[in-house]
Structure formats: C-alpha cells, structure tokens
Structure 1
Amino acid sequence: MSRDILIVDTLCSSRILACGEVSAGHHAVRSCATEEEAWAALDAACPDLLVLGAGDGQPGADFLRRLRARPGTRRLPVLAIAAEEDRAARLRLLHAGADEVLTRPYDPALLLGRIRTLLRGADELADLAQGGAGGLAPDMPGLAEPEEGFGARATIRVVTGRAGRMPEAIEPLSRRHALSLDRETLSSGRAGAPAPDLVILDAAGGAPDLAAAIRLAGDGRALHSAALFRQIAEIRSHGPARHAAILALVPPQATNLAVMALDLGAQNVVTPDIGAEELAWRAEGLIRRKRDQDRCREELRVGLKAALHDPMTGLYNRRYALPALDRQAQAPGPPGQLAVMMIDVDDFKAINDRFGHAAGDSVIVAIAQRLEGLVPPEGMVARLGGEEFLAVLPVAGRDAAVDAAERMRRHVAERPVTVDGPGGGCAIRLAAAVSIGLALGTGGEAGSDILARADRALMAAKRAGKNRVIGPASIDGADLATLRPSTGGIHGLAPPGPVLRFGKAV
C-alpha cells in the first residue's frame, strides 16, 4: 500500500539516495531541501511519516522539538538518519522526538523495515483512538496531550536461551521496573500475574557479530533465529501478552534477521552495543506507546459499552436489544421456545409528578435490578426507554413463559421501593407494579413481529386494569388472554412503615 513519505534532507546526494530507497517500497515520496520547504510541505499536507536527514549543517534536534510542539505533528512518525556513528548524537535525536535513528551507511532493506514498523504502530494507535475509523485525530482524548515522561513501574520479561543470562545493558532497567528472566520461551507466569508491558528477546547474547551469535545460540546462551521468530509469533497470538511491546536484541550486521523480526511484529530491534542509556530510552518509549494503546483500548471498550447500555440502569439499551431479539427470533427452532415480554411500569407519571424525577429514577433502577435477577444468563433484559423494558428468554413452552412473566410481576409488586422524599426529606416506601405483555416466538420469524404482538398484549394489560400479565391464548398468538389476573389495584407490603400506592384506589 502506497503511503505519503516526506523526506527532509539538505544534502542533495543523500536526499536523492533516500528518495530512491523509499520509492522502492512503493511509497509516494515528497522531498524538501530546506527547513522552510519542510514546514511549508507539512502545512500543505501532513505526511504519514517523515524521514529526516540529520547531521552537521542539517536539521536536527531543534527541528524535531519544534515538530513535536505542533499539535498536528506531535505524533507524526519520524525516522532520523544520522551522518555518522555517534552514540551521543543518536541519543540527542531520540530525546528530541525521533522515533527511530539509523546511521549511514545503512541497508535499504532495514530502512524500509523500520518505515513499515513505524507506520504500523501509528495506524494501530490511530485506529484504536477512533474506534477503527482510521486517521489520526490530533484532538482525540489521550492523543492531544504532550507525551509523558517516564511513567509508572512496568512489567518487563526478558527471554533468552536455555543457558542465557540477563544482558548487562538491560539490568539497569530493574531499578525502575519489574524485570524477570525466562529461558527459551515466554512463560505463562503465575495465575493472576500482570501481563508484560515489554518483552525483550535476546538473540545476540552480547555477540559482536552474526557468526558469534550463532555459536552462542548453539550453546544455549541466546535465542537462535528460528526461536526468535517463533517467540514473536507466539507472543502476538497469546491472549494476555499479545498487546505487549517487543524489543529484539540482534547481533550487528544481521540485517535480514532484524528486518524479519520487525515484519513479524517486533516494535524495535537493536544491537547489544548501543549502551544501557539508549536501550533504556528505547524501552521507556515502547512502554509509553504501549500504554497509550492500552488507554485507547480502554476508552474504546468503555465507549462501546456506553453505546449499547442504558447509563442509568446498566441494562442493554434499544440499540442493542432490538437487533439481538431479531437474531434470536430468526434462529430455527420449535414454536413456543422463545418468550418476549414487553414490561411497563404502571402509573409511573404519578410517581414523577408527586415525588420528583429522582424518586422516579430510583424506582426504574430498582425494577431493572429485579427483572435482571430473574432472567437467566442466556436471556436478555433491556430498557427500551422511559419506564418500558423488554425481556427475552428461552422457555420450554407457553406455561413456562407464563410462569416466568408472573414471577417478574410478583417480584415487583410485592416489594416496595424505598426512595428519598421530596426535597431530600424522609425516606418513603413506594409500592410499584408492572404490566406485562407476553408473546411467543414461532421460530424463524422477524423479531419485530414478535415485539408487535407483545406490545399489543401490553396495551391489553393496561386496559384490563394494570398489574397483570396478558399473553397469547395459544402458541400461534391468535388471541389474547389474561394469564394471571391481579387481585385489583397495585398492592405493596405494608410492614414496616407506610406504603404509598398508585393506580386504583385501595
């Protein structure tokens, strides 16, 4: 897939070289020879990724700091290319805001691998932030704020060979984080243990080159290449650990190994000679980005729940309930095995008018809890709006459906609801009641058809005096019958204390 890549490099030869290398990855490339051109290009259209040539006389840390200070480019993936191997200069670029730093000369395959990894990470975060809609929104909560410094204590797991040891460059991380060592494979950990924030896979063992690393892997002091690839794949498919950031330690000049690790899902690949300070900075950056994604996932989960649930009662809402009913109604099965109940609180307006909406809300919540407690896990109860509820549950025929509906009616009518009096006065016990319209599914029909029958039955229950169950006289629902007539009125339990009743005078 072609992506928009902006290359900023004041050196003509390196800019032309980078343009050719990035174009080989089938990306759309724009190039700028000066900082002024770069800012104009960024204002015209923000790219998917920026490649920055950094060195003497070239844009560097100051350019990156300015870039990160702008809301529209704060999260723009940036890959910096340093002119020479200089650990201090590389750290300055990382501290200023570069996501990755390569040093000339580099393998073009590694450049493209780094670009793919950075784009993948940005896309994942953007998709999570917008609920899968794609496209980075600079004003999205959790994305618009400046990046935090070093955060809370994280869980880091290091995986090495069967005889491997904790790499020296990693040990300083134990001063800030919970660090543990696994050999050969990432262990599942003890029950209830937190999933790792970062997994470090050691395929180098401190070796100075690929040949030495192969020998160390043979002795069990590092992961061999196949084990490295398998670990990445297993982590990405493992439930609790699949969201962990992955950092792979690979030997120098092992370009193919590094590129394959990145493409399989590692977020970063480094050589053991980078030093403890840079390794710590890269590890902290991976942990920070992983927590950004965790926060977005939680916001998405909460948002999805809010979209499908009634905020006051916690029951499913109409948006969820009606499609769910339709799915259950159209499932094949014998007639009379699905009970659909329309439930309406009797004389609810009188409660609101006399005691206020807070008291009315308390009644709605109490009734919702009682209905939910009587519906089995395979069933569903939802608040459709106002004082109207829907219950759907599997039953073993008409008589079982009638019994279930009557249990719900009694469970509400026989237990008064305690609410605060008007203006926060003394608590009052209100007798509430519900009318229930019952319909039975005939198997393979539209949910709206069953719902319409249940609604007609509910209206009949209201006309017949309320506080009663009315449903089909037969399985096919041709006629309505009063299945459980009330004894008249809406009755609550008297003791202890007075109970206020609404509806028919008693």
Structure 2
Amino acid sequence: MPGRILIVDTVATNRIVLKVKMIAAQFQVDACGSRIEAEAIISTNRPDLILINLSDPVEDRHAFCKTLKSERETANIAVIAVGVADTARARLAALDAGADDVLPNPMNDVLLMARIRSLLRVSSAWEDLLMRDTTSRALGFEEAPAQFQPPAKVALLTPDDTDASGLLDMLRYGLALPVKQIRTPEVLKNNSTRPAPDLFVIDGTRQHGDDRQLFGLVSDLRSRAATRQSGLLVITPDASPDIAAMFLDLGADDAVPECLATAEITLRAKALIRRKRTHDHLRTTVRNGLQAALTDPLTGLYNRRYVDPHLGRLVEQSRLSGQALAIMMLDIDHFKSINDRFGHPAGDSVLVQLADRLRENLRAIDLVARVGGEEFLIAMPRTSAAQAHAAADRLRRIVNRAPFDVGKAHPPLNVTVSVGVAVRPHSELTEKAAKQMCDEADTALYAAKSAGRDQVAISRAASRSAA
C-alpha cells in the first residue's frame, strides 16, 4: 500500500518539486512551510515519513526534529533531512537531531526513492510491533523488565582475508566494541546454533566477484531466519548512488559511501544497533506476554481476548492514516458433519491446517484470529472494498484447491469456506466501528451461507463505500 509523506520546506518551489516526485511514485502527499502547519497535519493525517528541510533561516527545524523523535506518538515517523549542506558538521547535526537519513542537494532521485522505501519498510514493521505491544498493555500485561544486555556483536564482512585493518580500527574505535572480520563465504555456512551479530558491516568497496554476488549476499542475509533481524550496513564506493539504492531495495538498512567521516559511519552503526535491540525487546515482550493468554492453543492464532482491543487500535490507526479498514468473518462449511463423520481429531486437524493456510497467505500487518469453533476473523488495514473482496475470494480458493489430511484412517477431505466482508473508509471509522464492522461481516457471512456456501459476500455498507 502507498505510504503517506509530509514535506516541510519554507521554499515553495522545493515543496512543489518534491511533491510532484512523490505523487509520481504513487505516495499520498501533504506539504507545508512551517512547523505549526506540520504539527496540524501530523495530528489529523499522521504521515509515515517526513521530508524536512533543516536549513530554514527562521525556524529551528533541528529542535522540531528532536521533538518528533522524543514523543511516543511520533517517534516512529521516519525522517529524511533534505537541503542540508554537504559537510560533515551539517550531516552529523541532522543525524544527531534524529533524522534517519540525510540527503544533501543535489539529491539523486533513485537513491531518494530507495531510501524512502527502506524506511517505510522499517516503519511498518515497527508499527506492527508497537501496536501489538500496546494491545498487550491494554489487556493488563506489563512490559518485560529490562535485563542486562551484553555488548553488541558486530561483524565486518570482507570477500577474503586481505588486510582490512583500517576499517576494523575505525569501527572498533568509533563503536567502542570488538569487531570480528568474517569472510563472506563463511557467514553463509549453516551456523544457526550461534547467535547472529547485532550488526553486519559489509565492505562493498572491495572485490567480491561481481556486483551480483554482493547484492546476493545482502538478499541472502535478509532472507535467512538466523540473520533476518540483524542490522545490515553496507559501505559503498564513492559516487555510486545507484549501487547504494540497489542495496537498500534488497534489504540493507543503510548504505553509505566510504568517503563519509568516521563519526558519521559509527553514528549510523550505533543507530542500527539500538534499533535492532529495541525491536528484539518488543518482539520478546509480545511473544512472552501474549503467547499463553491471548492465543488459541490449537491453531496458535490470536483469540477473542486479543482481538477486541487490537481492532480498536486498528480503527484508530486507520483514522489517522486516512485509509480504509476491512474485516472478514470466515467460517468452515458443514464443519459439524466433519466432526460427526470422522471424529473430533479430524476436525482439529482441519482447523490447524486452515489456520496455516490463512497465516501463510496474509500480510504481516493483517490480523487473523480464531474467534469461534470454526469461525475465523481477519482484519486488513489499508485495504479498500475491492481489494478486500479480491483477498477474500483468493483465500476461499486457496482453501478449495487442495484437500485436507485428516489421518491415515480417512482419505484427504475437501473443505470449503464462506466469507463475509465489511469495509469502511477512514471517515466512517468511529469509536464503535470495530464492533459494528464485526456485526456487518457476520451478517454478510450469513448471506454467503444462505446463498449456497463456498462463496464471498460483502456487506451493503462495504458495497456503498466501493461505489
């Protein structure tokens, strides 16, 4: 889904040029020239990312940036500083103020778009973790107590054992941490029993074969379970913005030219380590605090106790983002006959396999929960009526296309589901919208059952919003 971007720049021509570029890239865009205007927009249409010119001669934009990053409601909004003088002092001041990245003029459009995509991915993952953590607090669960953390582990990846003492010394001195040099072929060996480093620094200035091998390394590290959560910082050759953009699109958290000052490279590395450890802590809190009480023990999906407060958060998020919210009710057709004919173990097996199919075919930001014996709820933020209908029908077909294994004593069983869909635009999401939408989806589900089962029905309200 497209992100929402806010442009803050006193110079009207700068705002216009950036706005045209962002709209062409299919982003939703707001633009303003002052802090007061920006704060008003943030309060009504919360952006996912802010492009801010910190070199304003009238306002202290650095202080504004620090305020954004210090307040809980806005700390997760990604910030890119633009129009900054291309000096080490100016760049460090922007990063110290809380900017996630600095792009001096003239900006490279390819690198700008790659930076935006990378930061929006991180923001989306953080928002999901934070929302789940907030839901757990609303249910009365305390945050896991902070525990002693050992020093961060940092690895420098180089293509061979050639001398990298200069880069190693820079990282060790700047981070005040031990940094281990690892050859790139070694890191891809199966060593899942050892904890992965908190940060990989990849030396992209040396010969790793061809560029495709180095790109493949970044993609491989990001896709493997053992290294997926590690920070990835790539040091690229100078004057290579297209290469840096490719690394970012493949999953690197940051890509910086080797000409940058030591202080800036280590500042960026420290930020990635902090972000990784904060994400780890949130994931642990969510996993340990919610697993036992808020999940269905059979399917591993969230249960009704989790759903109610989380839907309230989704409604509020959709109101702020200005995007629609969809809720589905999905029910297994003739489930009672499965239990009657084949026994409850067979019915349980169908429920587990169905949960797996739903989980594997939905986005990370979507919520899927078991809310009744054979009834499942799916909530999809940032989803229009047309998209929700298409997603519901796709899930229905995924259930249909392969039979379910119900044990050696019985042949594989064909199973169908019926789905009811309710969708509301952000302008119609009131405080009571979550319960109302669940009722609407239930009514649509009943209509799908009455019409013959194995089909999707959309609520009348959703149909009107799509018109």
Normalised TM-score (structure 2): 0.58
What does 1:97-496 align with in structure 2 at a 5 Å threshold? Answer: 97-131=98-132, 152-166=150-164, 168-174=166-172, 176-185=176-185, 186-188=187-189, 192-205=193-206, 217=207, 222=208, 224-302=210-288, 303-308=290-295
> Match of 2:9?
9
Residues 280 and 307 (structure 1), Cα distance of their counterparts in 2 relative to 1, 3 Å cut: same
Residues 192 and 64 (structure 1), Cα distance of their counterparts in 2 relative to 1, 3 Å cut: same
Q: How far apart are 1:230 and its partner, in Å?
A: 0.7
> Match of 1:35?
35
Say if 2:85 and 2:91, in contact at 8 Å, map to a contact too: no
Distance 1:11 1:241 in 2: 43
> Match of 1:211?
none
> Match of 1:79?
80
Distance 1:317 1:75 in 2: 27
Residues 170 and 269 (structure 1), Cα distance of their counterparts in 2 relative to 1, 3 Å cut: farther
> SS where residue 73 of structure 2 aligns?
helix
Higher helix share: 2
Q: How far apart are 1:91 and its partner, in Å?
A: 0.8
Distance 1:254 1:292 in 2: 31
Residues 248 and 330 (structure 1), Cα distance of their counterparts in 2 relative to 1, 3 Å cut: farther
Q: How far apart are 1:293 and its partner, in Å?
A: 1.9
Distance 1:261 1:255 in 2: 10
> Match of 1:497?
none
Opposite residue 82 of structure 2, the aligned amino acid is I
Opposite residue 249 of structure 2, the aligned amino acid is D
Aligned residues: 319
> Match of 1:24?
24
Say if 1:159 and 1:182, in contact at 8 Å, map to a contact too: yes
Distance 1:15 1:115 in 2: 17
Say if 1:331 and 1:444, in contact at 8 Å, map to a contact too: no
Structure 2: segments with no counterpart, 5+ residues: 305-330, 349-405, 416-467
Q: How far apart are 1:33 and its partner, in Å?
A: 1.2
Say if 1:335 and 1:442, in contact at 8 Å, map to a contact too: no
Q: How far apart are 1:45 and its partner, in Å?
A: 2.0
Distance 1:120 1:318 in 2: 24
> SS where residue 237 of structure 2 aligns?
coil
Residues 121 and 317 (structure 1), Cα distance of their counterparts in 2 relative to 1, 3 Å cut: closer
Kindly provide the CA deviation profile for residues 236-272 of structure 1, in whole angstroms up to 9, marking residues without a partner as x: 2222112111111111221221111111111111011
> Match of 2:44?
44
Kindly provide the CA deviation profile for residues 6-30 of structure 1, in whole angstroms up to 9, marking residues without a partner as x: 0001123322222222222111111
Q: How far apart are 1:34 and its partner, in Å?
A: 1.8
Say if 1:170 and 1:280, in contact at 8 Å, map to a contact too: no
Q: How far apart are 1:301 and its partner, in Å?
A: 2.1
Opposite residue 78 of structure 1, the aligned amino acid is V
Distance 2:194 2:78 in 1: 33
Say if 2:76 and 2:127, in contact at 8 Å, map to a contact too: no
Opposite residue 2 of structure 2, the aligned amino acid is S
Greater shift, 290-299 or 181-190, is seen at: 181-190
Q: How far apart are 1:167 and its partner, in Å?
A: 6.3
Q: How far apart are 1:336 and its partner, in Å?
A: 12
> SS where residue 290 of structure 1 aligns?
helix
> Match of 2:436?
none
Distance 2:31 2:407 in 1: 68
Residues 223 and 29 (structure 1), Cα distance of their counterparts in 2 relative to 1, 3 Å cut: farther
Q: Is the radius of gyration larger for structure 1 or structure 2?
A: 1
> SS where residue 259 of structure 2 aligns?
helix
Distance 1:332 1:166 in 2: 69
Opposite residue 305 of structure 1, the aligned amino acid is A
> SS where residue 73 of structure 1 aligns?
coil
Residues 319 and 173 (structure 1), Cα distance of their counterparts in 2 relative to 1, 3 Å cut: same
Q: How far apart are 1:140 and its partner, in Å?
A: 8.6
Normalised TM-score (structure 1): 0.54
Structure 1: segments with no counterpart, 5+ residues: 206-216, 311-315, 341-393, 398-440, 447-506
Kindly provide the CA deviation profile for residues 410-461 of structure 1, in whole angstroms up to 9, marking residues without a partner as x: xxxxxxxxxxxxxxxxxxxxxxxxxxxxxxx999799xxxxxxxxxxxxxxx
Opposite residue 73 of structure 2, the aligned amino acid is G
